[in-house]
A and B are shown apart, each in its own frame.
Chain A
Amino acid sequence: MYGNAYIDKNDIRPSTDVDDPVKLEEFEARIARGEKIEPDDWMPAKYRKTLIRMIEQHAHSEIIGALPEGTWITRAPSFKRKLALIAKVQDEVGHGHLLYAAAETLGKSREAMINDLLNGKSKYSNVFNYPAKTWADIAVIGFLVDAGAIVNQLANSKGSYGPYCRALERICYEESFHLKQGYDAFVALAAGTPKQRAMVQDALNRWWFPPLMHFFGPPDDLSVHSEELIRWKVKMMTNEEMRQEFMDQYVPKIWEMGLTLPDPKLRRDETTGKWEYTQPDWDEFFRVINGDGPCNKERLAVRRYAELSGRWVREALKNPKQVHHVPYA
């Protein structure tokens, strides 16, 4: 699901290691030629650090993202919807594993990543700090949150780090089913009884502001930092480019069903081809990302509880002679 390419610029302090200029030049030339970087290659300290942060954050988002959806498995409206939702949630957890594995190749152990999540040091996508109140929320999440994720992940899958690209390719393939089943559930409600239409309209109103409009993060300032990340193909599109792409593809699909979005300013400027919209409250974005959203406490409490509950099994199976080894790919 759920990439969120947002990188807090205050979060990344300039590295004190000075990179070898000759190696840096070779590294940049390799990326400029369109070649992939592999785990055992030399890379700038900041490249490694930023990628770990980004992939790890993405992995956490997949795992946490399964929680609001998992809530509705027991209450899905039909057997087929239940099967689809179980499969989707299972995929998301699988994606979390794939992404932890990709981040691990950069030298951070999976345990360390889980600990940083539990201690609030690592972030995950803000959308999951909002509650899924009705079945229509699940349709809107499956359709639009996954749509946002696909925009983000397709862009990132063309990046420069081999293991991340390989993981994303597989994820995007599974994601297409998530989106389609979400779209199907969304259309079923929108084409349904007045009550069903009202339900999906209400979910849209709650999910457009703030979660969906926050999804890609605030517009990037064109700092040296973000230019470098774009040159290194860590970030493939700016936040605003991704948001525009998302609106291009999905706003028409929402309007096609005669539903509305809660933004009177929302329109596509035919001359520029750009969407105009009301800026969401970015202060809220930062408040929520730093722990003060409607569901932050519950999400982390559930993760902690799950880790602790499974601990005796993991401990029982541990092999005392094993050594930690960074995977090759």
Chain B
Amino acid sequence: MTSDDPRPPPRRSFFGALGPNELKGLFWQVLVVGIALAVIVFLWSNTVTNLSARRITTGFAFLGREAGMPIADSLLAYNPKDSYLWAFAVGVANTLRVALIGIVLATILGTLIGISRLSANWLLSRLAAVYVEVLRDIPLLLQLLFWYVLMQALPAARAAWRPVEGVFLSNRGLILPAIPIGAPQLWVLGTAVLGFIAFLAIRRWLVAQQIREGKPRPAWPFAVGLIVVLPAAVSFLLGVSWTIEWPQLRGFNFVGGLTLAPEYFALLIALVTYTSAFIAEIVRSGIQSVPHGQWDAARALGLRRSFMLRQIILPQALRVIVPPMTSQYLNLTKNSSLAVAIGYQDVVSVANTTLNQTGQAIEAIALIMAVFLTISLGISFFMNWYNARIALAER
């Protein structure tokens, strides 16, 4: 502002040189930070006094002690003699297990319902609208308790429902046929993952070639070779068996197969159906945000419908869809903490038991918060990266 002014600025004292606005800013900042610090010091000193009065020692030393709590349903091997630290690890694994599978299923279901709401079929779009409206307007915790009650009301193992051969639904949960995964099978799956990564690199190179030469370069032979043929060959050479293990009723319980415990199954259903209602709305508004002219233009070019959807409509819709979708994924992950209400032992439930057993409230809650902040940051980091990739490149 004053750069055109040839006169030297008038001399001021040190604080005067800051100008009235800076001074006011400084005052407010000192005031707010001061209040924040005072509150923290107040809370901290109270806590220290209270802890010493109740003879609670702080610190994470208790993590090494024997937990002694049972965890019924876990991915990682666990027995009550293990330490609290390991119990927490099992809890985190359980949280991740329900959150990751929940996110995948909720995305699929939500996308289907979102598309259904736009269907030209009146009945389908109305049913989808009712689904969304009902699920969105009832608290998740209530839905969770409802599903859990229904699970418990299912018939006993002997009278289990069999919707499909090999699938059992009873008050012991959902039992599915499974392929036992051990070290040899993991090798084959690992090869498939490596093959997929190699395929992505090759496809990039092919696209670059296509841009340079103007000739289409098909990528699918590489996909088949690296993702299907190569792992199959490895499997054959190592002689890995892929027999399906069918669950069977023996006495009062099932043996074999994959068991989804009632608590896990109820939590998964509740999270997936509830979140899918929100995802459906996001998908619908994303698709509706693509201008109608884009459909017309694609049709005028005579493009195939699938190509049109994949290359023209979806990339534009995704720009609108991805940011709100990120918050839904975060919500689902955070909502998995409701597991504590039905006794599925996720990290919150384990921390709660720990808190009741040891009285280490501060440490237990700090651990919950650390776990969720890490997961939240991880998901938003990944989704931001993905969002940046698909965002509109504007000049």
Q: Do A and B come from one complex?
A: no
